[in-house]
Amino acid sequence: MASLALLQYNGAVKKPAIFLSGLFLFLLGLEFVIRQRAAADLGAWETRPFPSPDLQANRIVVLGDSIAFAPDLAAEEAWPALLERRLEQERPDQRWQVINAGVSGNTAADAYARFAQHVRAYHPHTVLIALGLNDCRQVYRAIDQRRITSFTRNESFAKTYGLGRFYLFRALLNHLAPLPTADYTIEQEANGPRVPPETFAALLKWLVNASKRLHAQPILLSLTPISEELDPARSSEFAHWSGYNALVEEIARRLQVPLIAVSQPFPDASYWAADGVHLSALGETEIANRVWAGLQPQLAIGN
């Protein structure tokens, strides 16, 4: 009788354990599926081809916007490619891989949305964060509000309850309180920057800390210069350039991370494309040279 009772007891214990194990595996699988769908639904990013990670190389991810992407130039003329070539020439004793994760029109909020896909996937040694030029623009895009709402919601819950990091929880929350409708194409004039300064600062802080969690060295880049000959309409669009440039410098000091200054004016108009914002091949070369010079202290530490 005692043996029978023991068997019945063990069976009663095993059933909840099996159920809980099955539930855990189901939720784990659901988390993976939702995470994959989220990565595929980030937006119609136009990127340079992403190479497979070279696990034997010093991997540097450039998390940037159209200045890194260089939409009107060949891939090898963009400054991340030029930087990789310079590293290979000047430091031939090591292998280098510079991943161009620049996307035209991207803000820091966009970079937050694609961080896992474009940065974490490489487990880089260094992350060059080159953002702010689009954040400071006085225009309105509905997608920005969606990105900012998602960031604020996810990270506030992650900080308070530790749940915001789970995509299953995010999906449930977004179902109960849908995110603002996003139109990827419409852009309108606005009275303030695309990403408010306090949100921009919070996003930069997140990107820096997320890079550190990957055991990568985050390095901030100041904003690239804007031509003084910009037409009045474009000039007012970038009225907050100086303020956001100063904010990047402040965040670097506050978080004690390296800053590479690339915001010094160019010698003449030939360094810009016709719009006075994007860069010509000469301008891309100059940015590559400035980043190379700014990287020297970090390369010395690496030795």
The average pLDDT across 262-272 equals: 96
Residue 230, domain CATH: 3.40.50.1110
> Does 252 fall in a domain?
yes
Distance, in Å, from the CA atom of 178 to the CA atom of 184, rounded to the nearest integer, reads 17
Claim to verify: residue 281 and residue 205 sit in the same structural domain: yes
Distance, in Å, from the CA atom of 258 to the CA atom of 249, rounded to the nearest integer, reads 9
Which residue has 């043996």 as its token pair? 3
Claim to verify: residue 248 and residue 298 sit in the same structural domain: yes
Claim to verify: residue 210 and residue 76 sit in the same structural domain: yes
Claim to verify: residue 35 and residue 61 sit in the same structural domain: no
Claim to verify: residue 24 and residue 82 sit in the same structural domain: no
Give me the amino acid identity at 295: L
Claim to verify: residue 205 and residue 131 sit in the same structural domain: yes
pLDDT-derived band at 27, boundaries 50, 70, 90: very low
Looking at residue 46, the DSSP 8-state letter turns out to be -
Q: Say which residue, 158 or 75, is predicted with more confidence.
A: 75
Claim to verify: residue 129 and residue 92 sit in the same structural domain: yes
Claim to verify: residue 77 and residue 11 sit in the same structural domain: no
Which burial class, exposed, middle or buried, applies to 101 when counting CB atoms under 10 A from its CB (0-12, 13-18, 19+)?
buried
Q: Domain tally for the chain?
A: 2
Digit-coded pLDDT (tens) for 85-135: 999 999 999 999 999 999 999 999 999 999 999 999 999 999 999 999 999
Claim to verify: residue 130 and residue 252 sit in the same structural domain: yes
pLDDT value, residue 34: 45
Claim to verify: residue 83 and residue 136 sit in the same structural domain: yes
Q: Are 151 and 112 in contact (CB under 8 A)?
A: yes
Which residue has 């487990």 as its token pair? 123
Please tell me the pTM assigned to this model: 0.82
Q: Which domain holds residue 37?
A: 1-41
Claim to verify: residue 1 and residue 70 sit in the same structural domain: no
Tokens of residue 166, six digits:
């789970």
Where are any strands of DSSP class E within 83-229? 96-102, 126-130, 139-140, 188-189, 217-221
Q: Tell how far CA 104 is from the center of its chain.
A: 12
Round the average pLDDT of the chain to a whole number and report it.
84
> Does 152 fall in a domain?
no
> Does 173 fall in a domain?
no
Q: Which residues pair with 62 in a beta bridge?
A: 100, 128
Distance, in Å, from the CA atom of 226 to the CA atom of 100, rounded to the nearest integer, reads 22
Tokens of residue 84, six digits:
């990789």
Tokens of residue 50, six digits:
């992403």
Digit-coded pLDDT (tens) for 126-183: 999 999 999 999 998 888 888 898 888 878 665 545 555 555 555 565 655 566 666 6
Highest mean pLDDT among 3-7, 22-26, 173-177, 296-300: 296-300
Claim to verify: residue 62 and residue 10 sit in the same structural domain: no
